[in-house]
Amino acid sequence: MSAPAADQPLVLASASPRRLELLARLGVKPDRVLATDIDESPLKGELPRAHAVRLAAAKARAAAALAPDALILSGDTVVGVGRRILPKAEDEATARQCLALLSGRRHRVFSAIAVLSPDGILREALSETIVRFKRLSAEEMEAYIAGGDWRGKAGGYAIQGAAEGFCQWLSGSHSGVVGLPLYETRRLLRAAGVALG
């Protein structure tokens, strides 16, 4: 098991069980999981890439205010269609709208991570993945919505669930689409002094 340098506790600033599972693939178990409550509304004219980067850093800073002596790892995943930021689907109508937008076309998934040290050094990285969905029939959309896999997910889908069957191809980081790009995460944690194999 790895630990941050100088016995700093590692805090994962996310309530996402998927991020916790992905972090475990690197052999890392955070000392604490600390969900942050920040306003995730896009700023006027904000593009998907900038939105993901801003939110990851904001989550890290919010967690650092509660755990100032810890090394903070945070992340944010944004699904973008062109300049448009797709919401996290909290109801069936939103999930249906997202799936209709994604059906038969390419979209981008921006997964930003931030590592904030107690000394105030912020390390950031961004994974950009292009995903193409098959054209979805009304029956496929309704079956997916009935399964509930979309709830709380950016763009209304989880690539690690049934929606993977809609994915014709993917160029980039699969773990980034799930919610924590492992290559970038490993690189930033090592730069912050976390001993990884």
Q: Residue 132 pairs with which residues in a beta bridge?
A: 106, 169
Structure tokens at 95: 């999930």
Angle at 82 between CA 132 and CA 42, to 5 degrees: 120
Give alpha helix (H) positions in the chain. Answer: 17-25, 48-66, 92-102, 138-147, 174-178, 182-191
In terms of DSSP bridges, do strands 167-171 and 122-133 run parallel, antiparallel, or are they unpaired? antiparallel
Query: Is 69 an annotated catalytic residue?
Result: no
Annotated catalytic residue, options 37, 76, 91, 119: 76
Give the up-direction half-sphere exposure of residue 172: CA atoms within 13 A in the CB hemisphere.
22
Catalytic residues: 76
